[in-house]
């Protein structure tokens, strides 16, 4: 295919767009790949659409190769199935909802678990029909509060979403593994570095879940990794709990006056004044943080989280733990006299206590651990309060912030924190959706069994941004061959008709050989502008026909490495083909 710059619908821009926060967004707009059309909505221009379609092709080929079958659902979906699973409500403001002319409720699909489940229920009924993996590559909608970073987080975007259906857990494991393996092949082909991290499944429910994160400084997700290869989404990091301590012989708890201790820091100072030899630090204190949970049915509940005083509650971690409930600030102390603001202690907490307020603790709060904490009385704290002896709790919660240097749960050393963007997600959903929508099949014994499912997503449009982000340099975009909108950028410079004749002939030969050539045939544009455009647009191979033609040579340049070489004009097509095909 031949793309002529003289007629291509393209306008490269010298200046960065005002609203672009990250390099990929800036360069994709400047290079005429995408253009903003709405808040969080982008138009693909011809070159961008070619990159998008290349990414889509890679995803489709690998999904087909693993035996998944392609289908395609509407994006405009009825409310009822999402009502049945609770997601109509759980999605909150993130869901685009609308009504048709008759007032019936619809939504724009953010993901399609319900619809796939119903389709399989509709057509299949026997274990013999399974396993089944079906997928679509489809436009999705989420009413993001803050669309950002161009294609990274839009309100309309393309996802490949697949769903597996198995009759038993072993089958589900195999389907999960097959998707995971296909995803590694996809990201390898796209040239996208990735880390597979353990993830919480959040609002999706289910039991096992991993994310394919592309490490990048502009990523929104923080993840951890250890020297031994452990990697997890921050939400999924599990805390290494210390060993329990026998409570026998531990000193008795004692209440002390601790006036003017509004912060952990001042509390530690006062405690040290009282007991100079105890070696108290912030980690010696137990901070009890009250939040309000808002449940999907609208009811609210106070919840107290006990964590060591040297850590803060990480709201995203907490939210992942309590989902689908949402976390809100707690203010209604008046209604809960057991909660003495600033001096809350665990002695009065717990679902079985008089207050009835649920109390969850950090995993570091183990039986036998001793704490300085609130005495449930203004101006007083209690010391040597022993977990399991002096107070109990309703469960543990992974809500404390994760820090670089924390021990990895696999014991392989200290954790490192890094940023990344989620490119793919594999979920073992289990039977949540099949239960909610009653998807059962007859097993070998003629008994109805509930199907177990998996759900697997790849951000297709997002991958375009991630590739641009990870490969660009200071001059512009640098596309990997697999996704480049053209194989070769052919630049004809100067005003000499012979140059254009030679370039045109070379373009013809390359196209005949099956390459896509972006040919800069613009007659009145200076060589400087053409070269700048070639760097900005980022085709992997740049061929220049210009002054050297008089000496019988063209220049062949590798955009990624910057390597240049002169090649004879005779046989140039073969040399270019060799460079392109490696």
- Residues whose CB is less than 8 angstroms from the CB of residue 520 and which lie 6 or more positions away in sequence, other chains included: 5, 489, 490, 491, 492, 530, 533, 534
Residue 65: burial class (beta carbons within 10 Å; 0-12, 13-18, 19+): exposed
89 in contact with a second copy (CB under 8 A):
no
328 in contact with a second copy (CB under 8 A):
no
* Shortest distance in whole angstroms from residue 143 CB to a second copy: 5
93 in contact with a second copy (CB under 8 A):
yes
126 in contact with a second copy (CB under 8 A):
no
* 3 state SS for 369-386: CEEEEECCCCCEEEEEEE
**Taking CB under 8 A as the rule, which mask of x and - marks residues 4-33 in contact with a second copy?**
---xxx-x--------------------x-
Q: In 435-463, which positions are buried (b, 16+ CB within 10 angstroms) versus exposed (e)?
A: ebbebebeeeeeeebebbbbbbbbbbbbb
49 in contact with a second copy (CB under 8 A):
yes
Residue 101 or 495 with smaller CB distance to a second copy: 101
525 in contact with a second copy (CB under 8 A):
no
Pick one of 16, 19, 21, 69: the residue that binds a second copy (CB under 8 A): 69
**Taking CB under 8 A as the rule, which mask of x and - marks residues 97-116 in contact with a second copy?**
xx-xx--x-x-x------x-
Distance between CA atoms of residues 297 and 365, nearest Å:
32
Pick one of 25, 30, 87, 155: the residue that binds a second copy (CB under 8 A): 155
Residue 87 or 559 with smaller CB distance to a second copy: 87
519 in contact with a second copy (CB under 8 A):
no
* Shortest distance in whole angstroms from residue 8 CB to a second copy: 7
75 in contact with a second copy (CB under 8 A):
yes
Residue 6: burial class (beta carbons within 10 Å; 0-12, 13-18, 19+): exposed
**How are beta strands 416-430 and 221-225 bridged, if at all?**
antiparallel
* Shortest distance in whole angstroms from residue 306 CB to a second copy: 34
Distance between CA atoms of residues 159 and 141, nearest Å:
10
Residue 108 or 573 with smaller CB distance to a second copy: 108
Q: Which strands sit side by side in the sheet containing 300-308, from one edge to the other?
A: 326-329, 286-294, 300-308, 358-361, 395-396
* Shortest distance in whole angstroms from residue 2 CB to a second copy: 11
156 in contact with a second copy (CB under 8 A):
yes
| Token couple for 167 | 């009759």
* 3 state SS for 191-226: CCCCEEEECCCHHHCCCEEEEEEEECCCCCEEEEEC
Residue 96 or 531 with smaller CB distance to a second copy: 96
* Shortest distance in whole angstroms from residue 429 CB to a second copy: 19
CA angle, residues 508, 512, 516, in degrees to nearest 5: 80
124 in contact with a second copy (CB under 8 A):
yes
* Shortest distance in whole angstroms from residue 434 CB to a second copy: 17
Residue 52 or 230 with smaller CB distance to a second copy: 52
- Kindly report whether the peptide bond that precedes residue 495 is cis, defined as omega within 30 degrees of 0: no
C-alpha torsion 14→20→24→26, nearest 10: 0
- Give the number of C-alpha atoms closer than 13 A to the C-alpha of residue 76, restricted to the C-beta side: 6
70 in contact with a second copy (CB under 8 A):
yes
Q: Which stretch binds a second copy (CB under 8 A): 42-50, 180-188, 395-403, 442-450?
A: 42-50
For binding to a second copy (CB under 8 A), which residues are involved? 1, 7-9, 11, 32, 35, 37-39, 41-46, 49, 52, 64, 67, 69-78, 93, 96-98, 100-101, 104, 106, 108, 115, 119, 122-124, 132, 134, 139, 141, 143, 145, 155-156
């Amino acid at each position: 295919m031949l793309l002529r710059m003289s007629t291509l619908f393209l306008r490269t821009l010298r200046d960065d767009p005002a609203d672009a926060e990250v390099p990929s967004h800036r360069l994709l707009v400047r290079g005429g790949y995408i253009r903003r059309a709405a808040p969080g909505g982008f138009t693909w221009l011809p070159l961008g659409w070619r990159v998008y379609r290349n990414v889509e092709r890679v995803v489709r080929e690998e999904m087909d190769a693993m035996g998944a079958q392609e289908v395609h659902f509407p994006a405009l979906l009825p409310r009822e199935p999402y009502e049945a699973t609770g997601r109509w409500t759980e999605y909150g403001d993130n869901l685009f909802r609308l009504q048709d002319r008759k007032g019936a409720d619809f939504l724009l699909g953010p993901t399609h678990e319900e619809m796939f489940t119903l389709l399989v229920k509709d057509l299949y009924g026997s274990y013999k029909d399974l396993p089944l993996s079906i997928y679509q590559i489809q436009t999705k909608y989420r009413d993001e509060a803050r669309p950002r970073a161009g294609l990274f987080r839009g309100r309309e975007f393309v996802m490949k979403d697949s769903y597996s259906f198995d009759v038993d857990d072993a089958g589900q494991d195999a389907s999960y593994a097959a998707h995971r393996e296909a995803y590694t092949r996809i990201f390898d082909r796209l040239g996208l570095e990735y880390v597979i991290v353990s993830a919480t499944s959040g609002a999706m429910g289910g039991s096992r879940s991993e994310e394919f994160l592309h490490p990048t400084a502009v990523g929104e997700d923080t993840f951890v990794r250890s020297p031994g290869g452990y990697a997890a989404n921050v939400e999924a990091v599990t805390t290494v709990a210390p060993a329990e301590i026998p409570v026998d012989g531990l000193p008795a708890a004692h209440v002390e006056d601790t006036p003017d201790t509004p912060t952990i820091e001042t509390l530690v100072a006062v405690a040290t004044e009282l007991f100079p030899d105890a070696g108290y630090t912030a980690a010696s204190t137990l901070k009890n943080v009250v939040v309000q949970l808002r449940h999907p049915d609208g009811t609210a509940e106070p919840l107290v989280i006990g964590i060591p005083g040297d850590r803060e509650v990480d709201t995203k971690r907490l939210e992942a733990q309590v989902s689908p409930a949402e976390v809100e600030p707690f203010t209604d102390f008046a209604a809960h006299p057991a909660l003495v603001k600033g001096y809350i202690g665990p002695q009065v907490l717990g679902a079985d206590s008089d207050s009835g307020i649920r109390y969850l603790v950090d995993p570091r709060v183990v039986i036998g651990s001793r704490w300085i904490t609130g005495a449930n009385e203004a101006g007083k704290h209690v010391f040597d309060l022993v977990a399991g002896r002096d107070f109990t709790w309703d469960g543990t919660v992974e809500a404390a912030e994760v820090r670089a240097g924390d021990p990895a749960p696999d014991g392989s050393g200290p954790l490192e924190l890094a940023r990344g963007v989620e490119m793919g997600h594999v979920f073992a959903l289990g039977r949540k959706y099949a239960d909610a929508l009653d998807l059962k099949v007859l097993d070998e014994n003629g008994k109805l069994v509930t199907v177990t499912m998996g759900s697997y997503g790849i951000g297709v449009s997002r991958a375009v941004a991630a590739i641009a982000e990870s490969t660009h340099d200071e001059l512009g975009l640098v596309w990997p061959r697999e996704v480049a909108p053209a194989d070769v950028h052919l630049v004809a410079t100067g005003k000499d008709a012979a140059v254009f004749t030679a370039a045109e002939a070379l373009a013809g030969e390359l196209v005949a050989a099956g390459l896509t050539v972006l040919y800069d045939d613009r007659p009145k544009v200076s060589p400087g502008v053409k070269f700048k455009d070639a760097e900005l647009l980022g085709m992997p191979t740049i061929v220049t026909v210009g002054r050297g033609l008089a000496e019988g040579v063209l220049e062949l340049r590798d955009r990624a490495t910057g390597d240049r070489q002169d090649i004879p004009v005779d046989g140039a097509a073969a040399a270019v083909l060799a460079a392109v095909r490696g």
